Chain A
Amino acid sequence: MTSAKITAKDADLISCHSCHLLCRPAASQDRRPIRCPRCSATLHQRKPRSIKRTWALLIAALVCYIPANILPATIASSLGDVQTDTIMSGVIYFINTGMWPIALIIFIASILVPLLKLAILSFLLVSVQRRSTWRPKDRARFYRLTEAIGRWSMVDIFVITITVALVRMGAVAFFEAGPGLVFFAAVVVLTMFAAMSFDPRLIWDK
Chain B
Amino acid sequence: MPKKIMIACHECDLLLWLGPLPPGTLARCTRCGAVLSRRRRRSLERTLALTIAGLTLFSLANLFPFMAMTMEGQYRQIVLLTGIKELYLQGMPEIAALVLLTTVVSPFLQLTGLLYVLLPLKLNRLTPAIWRVFRWVRYLQPWSMLEVFMLGILVAMVKLTKLADVVPGISLYCFLALIYVLAAITASLDPSRVWEKWREV
Contact = CB atoms under 8 A, between A and B. Distances in A.
A167 B155 contact: no
A18 interface: yes
A129 interface: no
A72 interface: no
B83 A164 contact: yes
Interface in B106-156: 131-132, 134-135, 138, 142, 145, 148-149, 151-153, 155-156
A7 B87 contact: no
Contacts of A163: 156, 159-160
B49 interface: no
Interface in A151-206: 151-152, 154-159, 161-170, 172-173, 176-177, 181-182, 185-186, 189, 192, 196, 200-201, 203-205
Nearest to B144: A151
Given A162-B83, A164-B87, A154 B152 contact: yes
Among A162, A181, A182, A200, chain B packs the most CB atoms within 10 A around the CB of: A162
A78 to B, nearest CB: 9
B160 A167 contact: yes
A15 B8 contact: yes
B191 to A, nearest CB: 7
Interface string A7-39: 111010101011111100000000000000011
Contact of A172 (B74, B149, B160): B74
The contact size tier of chain A is 35 or more
Contacts, number: 195
Contact of A140 (B12, B69, B149): B12
Contacts of B132: 39-40
A182 B18 CA distance: 46
Contacts of A159: 152, 155-156, 159
Contacts of B156: 158-159, 162-163, 166
A161 B21 CA distance: 45
A201 B11 contact: yes
A196 B139 CA distance: 10
A161 B152 contact: yes
9 contacts: A7-B15, A15-B7, A137-B31, A157-B99, A167-B69, A169-B71, A181-B95, A189-B98, A204-B31
Interface of B: 6-19, 30-34, 67, 69, 71-72, 74, 76, 78, 82-84, 86-87, 90, 92, 94-95, 98-99, 102-103, 131-132, 134-135, 138, 142, 145, 148-149, 151-153, 155-156, 158-160, 162-164, 166, 191-192, 195
Interface of A: 1-2, 5-9, 11, 13, 15, 17-22, 38-41, 94, 97, 99, 101-102, 105-106, 136-137, 140-141, 143-144, 147, 150-152, 154-159, 161-170, 172-173, 176-177, 181-182, 185-186, 189, 192, 196, 200-201, 203-205
10 smallest CB-CB distances across A and B, nearest first, come from A158-B152, A165-B83, A15-B8, A8-B8, A39-B131, A161-B83, A162-B156, A7-B13, A165-B82, A204-B12
